[in-house]
Each structure stands twice: as C-alpha cells, then as structure tokens.
Amino acid sequence: MDLLNTLVDKGLRRELPTREEALAVLATSDDDLLDVVAAAGKVRRQWFGRRVKLNYLVNLKSGLCPEDCSYCSQRLGSKAEILKYTWLKPDEASQAAAAGVAGGAKRVCLVASGRGPTDRDVDRVAQTIAAVKEANEGVEVCACLGLLSDGQAERLRGAGADAYNHNLNTSEATYAGITKTHTYADRVDTVQKAHAAGLSACSGLIAGMGESDEDLVDVVFSLRELDPDSVPVNFLIPMEGTPLAKEWNLTPQRCLRILAMVRFVCPDAEVRIAGGREVHLRSMQPLALNLANSIFLGDYLTSEGQAGKADLDMIADAGFVVEGADEVTLPEHRVDAAAGCGSHAARGCGSHEGQGCGSHEGGGGCGPCGTSEPAAESDEARTDPVAEPNEARTDLVAVRRRGAGTDLAPNA
C-alpha cells in the first residue's frame, strides 16, 4: 500500500503524517491489518529495537476522588466495588514497588486519586520517592498525582522524580462530555508544567469511550504537539458502577489500528500499552508488541491485569526482550535534547529542548499492580467460552483485591 510506505518513510524521518493519513490507518480493513502492523513495526524497531520496557503501578491512595471522570472507578459517585484506602506509608509503597522491580520493571509509577496534590501531599510523595529509590537502586520513578499547582513539579523533581504522568485522555472537542470538574486546558497545563520543570512528561489517551476516529486523531496530534516522552494508550475498562460501564466498542483489530496510528504520529516516543490490553487485545497482545515498546507489568490501579509471569512469557515468546535497568529507553536524539534542557537524561527519560506513568483507572490523578497468580475466581471467569466480536467481555474485568492496600501478595 502506498499509504503504508509513505507512513514508514515519515516515521523513520520523525516527520508528522497528515491528518488524512492518520485517519486512513484507522479506516484500513481487517484484510490489511497485518500489513499495517508490519509497517508500524518497522518504525518501532528503528527507534526501539526489540526491547520492551516494563512499568509497575503502585496505587498510593485508592478511591475517594472528588472528580467526576466518567471512565473512572474512583470517581465521585462511583458505585464500583473497588478497594478504598488513604495514603500508603512510604515503607508500604516501597515494599509494593519492590515486587514490580523484582519482576523486571525499571519504572515505578506512583499514583494517587484526587484533583491534585496539596503541598503536604507533595511532601508525603517526596518521602515515598526517597524510600522507593533507596530500596531499589537505579529505578525510575514517575509520579501521577493529578493537576499540578505552580512550583509542585519542581519540588517533585527535586525529590528525585524522573517523570510525571497526566493523560489528555480524549480530544478537546469531546472532553467536556467525559469530565466536568476540570477542563482539557487544565490537563495540558499540567503536562507543560512537568516539561518546564525538567521532568520527563508522560501523557496519553483512552480509546473506547464512544469517540470517533477524528477524536482519536485529534488527541494523538495534540500529544505530538506537547511532545511527551511516553504515550500510554489505554483501552477503556468498562467497570460496573461507572457511567461508561456499557461502552464496549473495541475489538482486538481496532486496538491494533489505534496503536499503529499512535506509532506513526509519535514514532520516537515510548508508546505504552496501558490499561485494558488484557480485556480488549486478548490473544492479540503479542502482536501489539510490534507497535508499542512498553507495557505495565501485572495489575492496574483498581483492576486485575495479566499475571506478571504471563507478561514475561508473552514478551519472550513473541521474540522481544525485556529492557534492562542499564539500558536507555529513548533514542539518542531525545536524550541529547533532554541533556540540553537539564532534565534527567542519564536514563533517557528527559523532555525535549525548547518545550515548556499511566492507566485510565486513576481519579484526578488519572495515571493509569504486584508475585501471586490471579485469584481463583478470576481464573475461572477467564476460561469462559470466547465471545463474539463486539460482545461485552465482562468476564475479563476483575476488581483488584491484592497488592497495595491489602495484606495479599501483589501480582508482578
């Protein structure tokens, strides 16, 4: 296909596709899907080889959020039967993080629900960052705490944070239909604050909320303009008790096309398959590694993920390798640009010169976890007969009952 040849050439040159080209990727047929994956895979391998970066979520504070994000199980008014607890102590968070690091994760994402941190919260998270880094030499730490006030990004960086996650989630045109307690502009402002402070910016989207192809292209083009180092692609987990519980709009094929489009638009960014990959990609997850170079290991914030051992087996069986702690994630030109603006370039997680971690389950923090096998009930549910395309796979959605905030061993 001439379209794919053009997109590969542009991706290898880091050239932005046109909107029409991005939309055309989403409109390709299932017959052309393997060609699309192969083309985007060339771009992925150019910048990231066959490495897969592992990230691990620690939910520092679960539920109890005052924001009304429709997709979120921690939202104001949520009836989802999730774990609810206030701030983990630094040593508790450090212990939870250690399980992920032991499983191969090189980045720990510390997430807290809420509109945004108070100055006292920043102090609390600073202590947690110190505890995590003291116990896990060389680990990257990404904070995801919601909307930032002036000076807070600088304080987090000073405390040792390497990155900050805050997702745009959807297009500016449709944002007010998803959330009313804050604005799209608020989110953009927080990503820019992270950039300006020298933190590696992490910002992505949620697919499957009823958005159009145009909305998906809009948000990914907005992300390209913001230029985050990491772009998490979440696929909506329709949790019972939330307004979007009936939104089952994704197939594995559509998820692959979305990931391919993101790779073409953001060719040299760390593209991360985040929340919902197990629910919507299902047996196609290994194929998606040809498009994304990063995943979350184990469980998410309020829902279960694939067993950590299964993640590692999947990566190996698909012919990929886990990125080592001593390897630089980002391409050299991004690292050089980061060094020029004084951010944390040593590990390749710095933001770009000249510019001002996450699953969709978070509250205002919206970031998008921990070594036991999935609970027996979940295993039983996940052996149900395969559903027809577009059928709701509620059997694949399980609330997290282990790891952070519980007395049970985490899944990592």
Check if 257 is active-site: no
pLDDT tens for 279-332 read 999 999 999 999 999 999 988 877 788 999 999 999 999 999 999 999 999 999
Give me the catalytic one of 51, 75, 109, 349.
Answer: 109
The two structure tokens encoding residue 370: 């921990």
Is 272 an annotated catalytic residue?
yes
- May I ask the CATH class of domain 2-347? alpha beta
CA 21 to chain centre: 25
Of 50-54, 79-83, 336-340, the range with the highest mean pLDDT is: 50-54
Annotated catalytic residue, options 51, 69, 155, 277: 69
Q: What is the pLDDT of residue 120?
A: 96
Which residue among 155, 157, 272, 393 is the active-site one? 272
Q: In terms of Cα–Cα distance, which of 275, 281, 273 is closest to 236?
A: 275
Catalytically annotated residue among 44, 51, 72, 124 = 72
Local confidence band at 378 (pLDDT 50, 70, 90 cut-offs): very low
**Separation between Cα atoms, residue 247 and residue 235, nearest integer Å:** 11
Quick one: pLDDT at residue 342? 52
For the question of residue 72 being annotated catalytic, the response is: yes
Active site residue 349: no
The answer to whether 109 is a known catalytic residue is: yes
Interacting residues of 123 by C-beta distance below 8 A, sequence separation 6+? none
Site of tokens 């992505």:
204
Show the beta-strand stretches assigned E in 41-188. Answer: 51-61, 107-112, 140-144, 163-165
C-alpha torsion angle, residues 101, 103, 108, 110 (rounded to 10): -110
Q: What is the pTM (predicted TM-score) of this model?
A: 0.89
Q: Among residues 144, 157, 202, 369, which one is catalytic?
A: 202
* The most confident of 16-25, 77-86, 355-364, by mean pLDDT: 16-25
Question: How far apart are the C-alpha atoms of 198 and 202, rounded to whole Å?
Answer: 12
Q: Taking a C-beta distance cutoff of 8 angstroms, is the pair 35, 257 a contact?
A: no
Sign of the dihedral through C-alpha 242, 243, 249, 255: negative
The pLDDT value recorded for residue 96 is 94
Q: Is 366 a catalytic residue?
A: no
Going from N- to C-terminal start, the domains of the chain cover: 2-347
Q: Which of 51, 65, 266, 400 is catalytic?
A: 65
Pick the catalytic residue: 44, 51, 75, 142? Answer: 142
Express each pLDDT in 339-367 by its tens digit. Answer: 665 544 434 444 343 333 455 453 334 44
Q: Is 69 a catalytic residue?
A: yes
**pLDDT above 70 for 386:** no
pLDDT of 390 > 80? The answer is no
- 3-class secondary structure, 293: coil
Q: Which residue has the higher pLDDT, 218 or 299?
A: 218
Q: Per this entry, what is the length of the chain?
A: 412
Q: Note the Cα 57 to chain centre separation in Å.
A: 10
Q: Read off the pLDDT of each residue in 233-259 and give the average, rounded to a whole number.
A: 94
Q: What span, in angstroms and rounded, lies between the C-alpha atoms of 364 and 197?
A: 21
